[in-house]
A = this chain, B = another copy of it.
Amino acid sequence: MAISAARNGEGERDAPRTPPPVVSRTGPRRSESARLAVLRAADDLLVERGFDGVTVEGIAARAGVSKQTIYRWWKSKVDILLDTIADDAPEALAWEGGRGTPEEELKAQLRRVADFLASPPGQVLQALLGHAQLDERTARRLREGFVREQRERDLAGLRAVLARHAGAELDRETGSEVEAATAERLLDALLGPLYHQVLVQGQVPGPEFTDAVAEWVLELASR
């Protein structure tokens, strides 16, 4: 729900970010096939050769597109990679509300995040998170864009689950809604260990890890 709303709000967002042309204009429109070929090529190169193996020239060559076409629409290879996750990540990381018990849902969601991080788009995200440590501009764009949006989706999803969880546990009490600051910290408790494993230890943990973390978070949520 939150997701489809979000999708509505950003449907064309990966297309040129210029505001809709107020005056009618003439001439050819941006080539959608070129755009997709570039995103595809960047993604492939990153998985195949790693971040340093992604070069604008390499993308251009593999996408069958000229360098200038890339520079017309993107400022850097980082911009391109940001677009690829903007295309792929939101649906892969969407909360699927209301399937099974809260515990089941939370475990499923955390597994989904782990699976995503292991997938090609997830590798792109890892690389961008890495580059964000090295480059302030990348950091800002990533955090003000994807990270912030995803965090909002995650907060909404988590709070929904916790509300159901609290309701099921004691449906007579009043304090149904989780306090905002608490939800933030519980989200960190949920995602932190996973990202720590991935970014610091360099491995995507399996279900036994994510399931245990999910259980802990529910325990902590119950005080």
Q: Are A193 and B189 in contact (CB under 8 A)?
A: yes
Q: How far is the CA of A52 from the CA of B192 in the complex (A)?
A: 27
Q: Is the interface of A mostly helix, strand, loop or mixed?
A: helix
Asked if A7 is at the interface of the complex by the 8 Å CB criterion, the answer is: no
Residue of B nearest to A216 (CB): B220
Q: How far is the CA of A193 from the CA of B213 in the complex (A)?
A: 12
| Contact flag A133-B143 (CB < 8 Å), given A196-B192, A209-B185 | no
Within the oligomer, what is the number of copies of this chain? 4
Q: How far is the CA of A151 from the CA of B135 in the complex (A)?
A: 27
A91: min CB distance to chain B, Å: 20
Q: Are A199 and B201 in contact (CB under 8 A)?
A: no
Q: Pick the most buried of A132, A133, A135, A194: most chain B CB atoms within 10 A of its CB.
A: A133
Asked if A131 is at the interface of the complex by the 8 Å CB criterion, the answer is: yes
Asked if A64 is at the interface of the complex by the 8 Å CB criterion, the answer is: no
Asked if A219 is at the interface of the complex by the 8 Å CB criterion, the answer is: yes
Asked if A149 is at the interface of the complex by the 8 Å CB criterion, the answer is: no
Q: Pick the most buried of A51, A195, A197: most chain B CB atoms within 10 A of its CB.
A: A195
CB < 8 Å neighbour of A130 from B134, B147, B188, B197: B134
Q: Are B127 and A133 in contact (CB under 8 A)?
A: yes
Q: Are A147 and B201 in contact (CB under 8 A)?
A: yes
Residue of B nearest to A26 (CB): B66
A212: min CB distance to chain B, Å: 6
